[in-house]
A and B are shown apart, each in its own frame.
Chain A
Amino acid sequence: MSVSVDGPVTRSSVLDALEAAYPMLRGTIRDHDTKERRPFLRFFVCGEDVSLASPEDPLPEEIASGREPFMVIGAIAGG
């Protein structure tokens, strides 16, 4: 899915826009109160794990332009 972000494209602003568009996602990707990433999922940008980077760091141009996805990868357990 794509979202539009006003101002700098960061992890925070992308997830804020996503949660505004899909309120049911609030509290599932980031903790309701602390806004910390929940431990059973990780964030990837251009194949690299950026889960531990600052949420306010600008995301690369590929993401801002929509050419590459900002990926939220969650644990699944089916077998």
Chain B
Amino acid sequence: MKPSPAERELSREEVARYSRHLLLPEVGPGGQKALKAASVLIVGGGGLGSPAAMYLAAAGVGTLGIADPDVVELTNLQRQLLHKTADIGRPKTDSARETIGGINPHVNVQRMKLRLDSGNALEILSPYDVIIDGSDNFPTRYLLNDACVILGKPNVYGSVFRFEGQVSVFNPTVGGPCYRCLYPAPPPPGLVQSCAEGGVLGVLPGIIGSLQALEAIKLIIGQGDTLTGKLLLFDALGTKFRELTLNRNPDCPVCGHNPTIRTLIDYEDFCGVRALGDQEGGGEEITVEELKERLDRGEDIFILDVREPQEYGICNLGGHLIPPGELPARIAELDRSREIVVYCKTGIRSARAIETLRQKGFTKLRNLKGGINAWADRIDPTMARY
């Protein structure tokens, strides 16, 4: 995979292409050749992966790996600039390669249409010099962290939610902390919303993903100061950056003095994702078809909507709206003698709400499987899907 010294030489075309880099003493021909010889794996070809991949390609990184299991959806296009309207339905790895090739045909793009897991991650990561975490879920973030620590690779971390972004470089091989030093455990599923539920301003991952590309470039050319040992926060509403100091945890289970995690574990299990799924299947779910049938029969069912008011405005089932954050304080609005069907967008927040209600003594609870999106897909195709 490593190019020979001759292949690292810059052609006439490349000298012109990278001339603005070559003029910088901090980059120069040495830095540009280092970029050409470098390989970067971008995990997630989405909001963060798009600007990261495009800038790294333009900068002349020789080999770019893109790992993403998904196909392009209409809702991606508000922020994922690797993909175009005509790409809807195509694998993201395919449209990513086309976009990158259009920017810089010198880049060797390695497409991986797959989800990283404990079985494949070490093998997939090992040929790369730098890993960029542009994933969109906690299990993948812990998996990438542990795999990078085990392999001794720098992990350029970025994440976004609504108007808030976080960036860091986790690089224990040079003494910095890892993701687990910062967050030893993920939030329970349903407590923290994903971008699919809570939304994200499209330009925000553009900024955070560009910062990830910047950190990767500095790691490759060995110039400047990286965010190792620091967490950079960005507040898009206030246009404010703030830098926090991170400490390595000597007792960290993966990068500490006596690590207990030496091989990859089951990350879905660690993040409680599977447990929640099982619980949902525990006899308390109701399908959209069953709900429609029972409503059509005029049965007495109380429908509780645990989304935010702006989501209710997009589409609703005419249910009683109580946003999840207000549920504990507004339980008096609910009648525990009636059967309550709880729904959100996809069924995750409603599962969490059911847990809260059960703790308060409610028993006649059903979770609408797949949420209102399933209703829009299978019962009412005229309903807006978001």
Contact = CB atoms under 8 A, between A and B. Distances in A.
A73 B231 CA distance: 10
A75 B326 CA distance: 21
B329 A78 contact: no
A75 B44 contact: no
Nearest to A23: B329
A40 B47 contact: no
Interface residues of B, number: 43
Interface stretch (B28-36, B111-119, B130-138, B295-303): B130-138
A36 interface: no
A34 to B, nearest CB: 15
A73 B182 CA distance: 10
Contact of B328 (A24, A41, A78): A24
Interface residues of A, number: 21
Interface string B24-50: 000000000000000000001011110
Contact of A75 (B49, B187, B205, B328): B187
A79 B49 contact: yes
Contacts of A49: 244-247
Interface in B28-76: 44, 46-49
B187 A79 contact: no
A77 B141 contact: yes
Interface string B187-202: 1000110110010100
B138 A75 contact: yes
A76 B161 contact: yes
A39 B251 CA distance: 14
B136 A79 contact: yes
B329 A77 contact: no
Contacts of B243: 47
A76 to B, nearest CB: 4
B325 interface: yes
B349 to A, nearest CB: 14
Interface string A46-75: 011100000000000000000000010111
B185 interface: yes
Contacts of B316: none
A42 interface: yes
A1 B159 CA distance: 23
Contacts of A42: 182-183
Given A40-B185, A47-B243, A76 B329 contact: no
Interface in A21-40: 23-24, 26, 28, 38-40
Nearest to B182: A42
A28 B244 contact: no
B166 to A, nearest CB: 6
A79 B243 CA distance: 20
Given A40-B183, A73-B233, A23 B246 contact: no
B184 interface: yes
Interface of B: 44, 46-49, 133-138, 141, 158-161, 164, 166, 182-187, 191-192, 194-195, 198, 200, 205, 231, 233, 242-247, 325-326, 328-329
8 contacts: A76-B166, A78-B47, A78-B136, A79-B47, A79-B48, A79-B134, A79-B159, A79-B160
